[in-house]
Structure 1
Amino acid sequence: MTRALRFGDGFVTLVLRLGDAVARIGPLVEPRLAAGWPVRQISRMTISGEHLANLQSLLRRDPLRFEALTIVAGLNLPDCWIAAGFVRDAVWDHCHGFPVRPPLGDVDVIWFGEDQRDESIDREIEQRLSRQRPHLAWSVKNQARMHLRNADVPYASAADAMRHWPETATATGARIDEAGAVRIAAPFGAHDLFNLLLRPGPAFAAEKLSIFAERVRSKRWLERYPRLQLVVDPFAVAGGG
């Protein structure tokens, strides 16, 4: 079986032979296809103490991100985190030796309130956040309703919702608790995040792999972060896991 995916103006072609993957990538994309763990193993990952401490330290030392976390903590929303690129890019910047810089794109605030699913509530929260920090692109989504948009079974929590996100490294959130400590939610652990592995989450490893590929292309991650390694599980592409 052969599966071709478009990345930029080139192609990534996975040629499956006895479980091995060969990457053939067009001239505008470097051939970086790393060997990875099976999807089933990724689903069971937890964050290590070292990665947890490093991530907490990174966020505390970033004035703008820590301010954003403090503002969101003041909302007192249930099961509430700032997630996705807000956390991911901070780590990728650090691992590339880039200086601390503001979040690029949306600041994704996720929360879980089963009895407050009306989308207008999210818009009201965005307006409240924008009044406090107007230069950030706040995006608020109650994950109790997002399974409908994504055609998934209902999520049980914000962390459960992140299990259905396109990349393992993106499925990471942070918040400040009542005691002022930085808490981390990372349903796939932080191994991929700190080791610069760009891997589709289990929900996007096979049938939705083209969506993952389009995100890699449109967000120009391999150009912005040249040390990233693209990881695709050949068994998942073949429908075996």
Structure 2
Amino acid sequence: MLSRLPLNAQLTELEVVLRQNRHIPEVLGRLASLRLPGWYLTAGCLFQTIWNVQTGRAADAGIKDYDIFYFDDSDLSWQAENAVIEEIAALFADLDIEVEVRNEARVHLWYEQKFGVPLAPLSSAEEAIDNFAATTCCLGVRSDRDDVWQVYAPHGLSDIFNLVIRPNPVLAPESVYRAKTARWLEEWPQLTVMAWPRPESYTRSMEYQLRQATPADAEAVVLMHTQVHEQCYGHVLSEEFFAARRRSVPERTEQRRVGLDTTDPRIIALDADQRIIGFADAGPARDEELAGELELYSIYVLEEAHGTGLGKALLDAAIGQQAAYLWVLQDNPRAQAFYRKNGFQPDGAAATLPESWASLPEIRMHRSQQA
């Protein structure tokens, strides 16, 4: 079963499967010849090819169009985007396929009028892919002139190989998800469609109390961190990584003990059984160019407490309404949506974590003083 292969093997199989749709390598190869910034071939042409191959159909059956995202914020005019659209239309004029092209840097200019939901300016094509209505759709592929593929898959590949559609309620409304999944089920009845989360699931009640952590809480905080990392980052980090994290709990506990010996905000959330279910910390900026600013170092909440309002309570306890900044994984659309809801926006800065964290990319987000 492809979904149970290690991630590197899944990526290999992904390319094998996608190449069975003769249009995909052709589109990628031609796009590689252009100087189109931050481009990806994305969405239905990719995951629907996989569905076709998995269900024994022709690889290109039922595929409506081939979506191309790019990101160019140097000129947000329609004229500039239309020039690219016309250039690509000419590039693919001899192929019997429909190609859709969008500059994701200017989507915020028309998104609310079309979908009824406001959208802040995006920072990259990857962020646009993060916002699809289903996690299954969050897939992008591009290649270089040597036909070496690059894959962006923030939610991994297992659901796609398993024919599972899972909602991604970070931007698009439920109506969009329902319309798309209904259409897909008509074409691919083997699909399993997961239900859109009901509103009550976002506002579940849970008893918890917040307090400043002390050095005595160090081990419990580290164990909670370890559990949250496995829950949140299992799609981007290996089992070997998590095994190493579990082995390092004693060492990290001593490091955390020192970090908790401070008057800076180190807020823990305790459930009714006095078990730590959330943590937030903040303090002086660690970025030299932002000396004097407030940095939100982290917020972690166990999955069981998602949707209870605990994340917002921890945020308020750690930084109140103050201006602040933070770093967040580029491949963490849920967290980014939470921070946007609370006033943060990407500021254009990017970095990568150390090799010990698989060199995962991060983006920086800022907010001003809140009213």
Select the residue among 66, 88, 99 that pairs with 1:138.
99
Note if 1:117 corresponds to 2:84: no
Select the residue among 177, 185, 188 that pairs with 1:225.
188
Q: Residue 72 of structure 2 contacts residue 105 of structure 2 at CA under 8 Å; is this kept in 1? A: yes
Cα distance between partner residues in 2 of 1:103 and 1:72: 23
Q: Residue 108 of structure 2 contacts residue 120 of structure 2 at CA under 8 Å; is this kept in 1? A: yes
CA RMSD of the aligned region, Å? Answer: 2.2
Note if 1:203 corresponds to 2:170: yes
Equivalent in the alignment of 1:239: 202
Cα distance between partner residues in 1 of 2:188 and 2:42: 19
5 Å matches for 1:52-91? Answer: 52-91=11-50
Cα distance between partner residues in 1 of 2:49 and 2:80: 28
Cα distance between partner residues in 2 of 1:105 and 1:163: 21
Q: Residue 64 of structure 1 contacts residue 102 of structure 1 at CA under 8 Å; is this kept in 2? A: no
Select the residue among 44, 53, 57 that pairs with 1:94.
53
SS at match of 2:150: strand
Cα distance between partner residues in 1 of 2:54 and 2:187: 12
Select the residue among 207, 213, 216 that pairs with 2:181.
216
Bigger Rg, structure 1 or 2: 2
| Offset of residue 120 of structure 1 | 2.3
Equivalent in the alignment of 1:15: none
The answer to which structure has the higher helix fraction is: 2
Change (3 A) 1:231 1:78: same
Cα distance between partner residues in 1 of 2:135 and 2:188: 16
SS at match of 2:110: helix
Equivalent in the alignment of 2:138: 171
Question: 1 or 2 for the larger relative contact order (CA 8 Å, sep ≥6)?
Answer: 1
Select the residue among 160, 184, 200 that pairs with 1:193.
160
SS at match of 1:203: coil
Structure 1 gaps of 5+ residues are 1-46
What is the TM-score of this pair, normalised by structure 2?
0.48
Percent identity, aligned pairs only? 27
SS at match of 1:210: helix
Change (3 A) 1:49 1:213: same
Cα distance between partner residues in 2 of 1:202 and 1:234: 8
Cα distance between partner residues in 2 of 1:233 and 1:212: 8
Cα distance between partner residues in 2 of 1:214 and 1:184: 27
Count of residue pairs the alignment pairs up = 191
Which amino acid is 1:76 matched to?
A: R
